[in-house]
Amino acid sequence: MFSMATIRDVAKQAGVSVATVSRVLNSNGYVNNETKKKVDEAIQQLNYKPNAVARSLYKKTSKTIGLIVPDIGNPFFPELARAVEDTAHKKGYNVFFCNTDENAEKEEHYLEILLQKYVDGVIVASNTLTAEKVKELNIPVVSIDRKITAEIPTVVVKNKEGAQKATGYLKEIGCERIAHLRGPHHIDNANERVDGYLEEVGNEPWFESSYIVDGNYVMKNAIQATLELLERHPEIDGIFAANDVMAIGAVKAAHRFGKKVPEELAIIGFDGISMAEATTPELTTIAQPIYDMGTAVTDLLVKLIEKKPVERTFLELEVELVERESTRKQNNKGGR
């Protein structure tokens, strides 16, 4: 069966990276003469013909962008993707969508695929992508939801401030023992939300470090972590979960444990996903402006692609407290 050579085959034959082959094909970026000769020879030997993108090369644009997310199972990312796709479409761009499952090798593979497709730029939510790798890609890259380095344009929200708002709200409504379901330790927004929680309760006489438990942004993990938390600390009457998926898991765990939400246990999440309104009870949350984030990051990337002026390359958007049923206290401990 006839099989066409790919850009990866050329890179392997020439002993260089896919990004280097891409630079040679696009005549874009510096490649020394010896390396260029190796790539040209590999292209001839393998009879590599990037004809599917010939017109894109001629125009120096493919009118496509890549969107790489870490977990399609988290409803936050499909909602974000919708905004990216809507905005890109209005600006005349198509979107290649990639899900890495928090896997660095899978992310590397997708980046190579996107280079093969000659995308004009990439939006990425990543914990593993380095500044060196971004530079090697030689196309505009914008980070969403998570910071990579100060040099890479980024759109995030005020995570620490939102966490303070969530924890402070639980105190306001009368909670006296507040726990935190945290996200993964290697993700900066999870650490910022822990910092915000600690800012509010870290100096309280009742605070214990064991009030912070790992939920890893996953519902299943959050259910188990909450059950163990309530078993160890039955005095807990408030939980701030670092995302809505974990908060929903905490509600399920409370039901299994026999604690009533919100009468005996108030629960607040973070994200503002649509699913939060479909739970019973409906979930109080710190809402990120998800659609606005997707719009802003796409606008930013397109400006970079089209070499238009960019006022700011770091956008930190506001979050909002949305009060629903999971925190409406019905006892006499106070609050709204």
pLDDT tens-digit map of 198-244 = 999 999 999 999 999 999 999 999 999 999 999 999 999 999 999 99
pLDDT tens-digit map of 296-308 = 999 999 999 999 9
- Is 66:60 a contact under the CB 8 Å cutoff? no
- Give me the pLDDT at residue 53, please: 52
Instruction: Name the residue type at position 241.
Output: A
Q: Regarding predicted confidence, which is higher, 251 or 19?
A: 251
- Give me the pLDDT at residue 72, please: 93
- Give me the pLDDT at residue 335, please: 39
Q: Which helix (H) or strand (E) holds 302?
A: helix 290-305
Find the distance separating the first CA and the last CA of the chain, reported in whole Å. 70
Q: Is the pLDDT of residue 2 over 60?
A: no
- Give me the pLDDT at residue 3, please: 66
Query: What is the DSSP track for 44-92?
Result: HHHT---GGGHHHHHHT--SEEEEEES-TTSTHHHHHHHHHHHHHHHTT
Place of tokens 């089209």: 306
Nearest to 183 by CA among 128, 134, 240: 240
- What does the block give as tokens for 26? 């696009």
- What does the block give as tokens for 126? 């990543």
Q: Which domains does the chain have, with CATH numbers?
A: 7-50 (1.10.260.40), 61-157+290-318 (3.40.50.2300), 159-288 (3.40.50.2300)
The CA distances from residue 96 to 78, 81, 193, in Å, are 13, 10, 30
- Give me the pLDDT at residue 127, please: 82
